[in-house]
Structure 1
């Protein structure tokens, strides 16, 4: 994209790589239940992850088929569900355009904002201090779109001893996480084996999505909100934030952090 770079006393032409934002409709059994503004990539992963984290399905086996249809005005992810999922859809039904900065717009009630989550306190691996501290650095190698645009978020899956093994990017932090969770499900990755790593802050909906995916450790480069920490603590999720190489702040469930032995000569 052509632009002018302006400084006091000068103006020069520049070319910038910028991300696209496209409406993506999640359509179940012929009915649109959500329209999210998203990066138009990895839509199959997005559809799978959104369906799982919103509780529309309990597993990919509930989705009989998924077809991605591009239109002039956006993209439809058309899913046909197996069995009777009407009650789950009614409980979590949305009719909204989701701006990239908000993940709870359009839910039906205050109760839906505090929905019941799986209890993960007896699940998940242990991580060393250095594995947590370096997690966001490991994610940097999986962010080519960010390198070009400086305008997208990423979510990655870290396995102890292997580092980040999978990641997805999107203009929306919620979308990036949904795409990652969908990709993990489609590749049959067990979320209990590792940690989810985020380039964003830790908000309520990010904790909820991790819980629905069954991942008990959440590592983020930025800050958590107080209510997100309450929910994480109740769900048994370890939250490490401000993870930027040198260290991190550990807020909830520290029992998953392994002590590292210092060897003194």
Structure 2
């Protein structure tokens, strides 16, 4: 299997108060590979992604894109390495395959990898399902969840070039972390890891190292996450989508705090009047 990171030669320039130097060195950088998804031989999408945790990726992608309603619909996943990339062959059970292929025949043209399998503005703006009540967590718990992520970002520590998505529960701490060059891919992998490991996104926090766009809210809602915390800022559309589906969205999480954009009732001490 293709390695998730490679070391490449580079020239390193450094400057300090005494001198300027150029030396030969090496740098670990993340691999980026074409990953093709097929469902019962029907091509669906091609994503550029980091080639690790691929079974999690297949299961999570199928869930967050609404291809299946439950991981129980998936029979097997085959990982097939080819000269030009990797194919994830997802085999759905007979009833689910028939439903998927029936929907697939209605798609007019080829898919793109910006919004996979999406052929219209209505599909791109699809409202996600409403999330459940979840738990009320303290600001300290949210800060603990954010702080716990860095120590488990092994690939980013090596390359400084990938995103991470993690799931944290008050009783168990950080349950899973997945990394990828694509922020959507990292979240899909996390969704797959949680489902395959028996986790329940309704019981904790999805933590993201990236900015929060509409797709990140849609994908989080598809796995029932009531609380999403990100270290970067959300887009305006992501805030509106989180508001609509009942999700608490906190972002710009730093060592000294965070900002809450929607549904603050899940954070102890916050109120609606605190949200701009």
Q: Same fold (TM over 0.5)?
A: yes
In the other structure, the counterpart of 2:197 is 187
Residue number among 116, 125, 138 corresponding to 1:114 in the alignment = 125
Aligned to 2:12: 5
- Equivalents in 2 of 1:92, 1:15: separation in Å? 46
Whether the aligned pair in 1 keeps the contact of 2:127 and 2:218 (CA below 8 Å) is: no
Residues in 1 aligned to 2:86 and 2:115: alpha-carbon distance in whole angstroms: 21
Instruction: Pick one of 62, 65, 70 that aligns with 1:54.
Output: 65
Q: How does 1:125-144 map to 2 (within 5 A)?
A: 125-144=135-154
Q: Distance in 2 between matches of 1:173 and 1:94?
A: 26
**Aligned pair 1:15/2:26, yes or no?**
yes
Would the alpha carbon gap of residues 80 and 247 (structure 1) be closer, same or farther in structure 2, given more than 3 Å must change? same
**2:216 paired with 1:206:** yes
Counting matched residue pairs gives 255
Match of 2:257, SS? coil
Separation in 1 of the partners of 2:106 and 2:230? 30
Give CA deviations for 1:191-224 in whole Å, capped at 9, x if unaligned: 1111100000010000000000111100000000
Cα distance, 1:136 vs structure 2: 1.9
**For 2:134, which of 121, 124, 127 is the aligned residue?**
124
2:76 maps to: 65
How does the TM-score come out when normalised to structure 2? 0.87
Give the superposition deviation at 1:163.
Answer: 2.5
Q: Which residue, 160, 168, 173 being the options, matches 1:150? A: 160
Contact 1:160–1:194 (Cα < 8 Å) also in 2 = yes
1:173 & 1:207 partners in 2: Cα distance?
12
Q: For 1:125-179, what per-residue CA distance to the aligned partner results, in whole angstroms no more than 9, with x for missing partners?
A: 1110111123221111210100000000000001024332211000100000000
CA contact (8 A) 2:205 2:226 kept: yes
- Aligned residues of 1:135 and 1:163 also touching (Cα < 8 A): yes
Partner of 1:78: 89
CA distance 1:21–1:155, change in 2 (3 Å): same
Tell me if structure 1 keeps the 8 A contact 2:40–2:90: yes
| CA–CA separation in structure 2 for the residues paired with 1:36 and 1:93 | 20
Task: Please state whether the residue corresponding to 1:174 is helix, strand or coil.
Answer: helix
Indicate if the aligned counterparts of 1:56 and 1:89 stay in contact, CA closer than 8 A: no
**Structure 1 residue runs without a partner (length 5+):** 261-265
1:226 matched to which residue of 2?
Answer: 236
The residue that corresponds to 1:263 in the other structure is: none
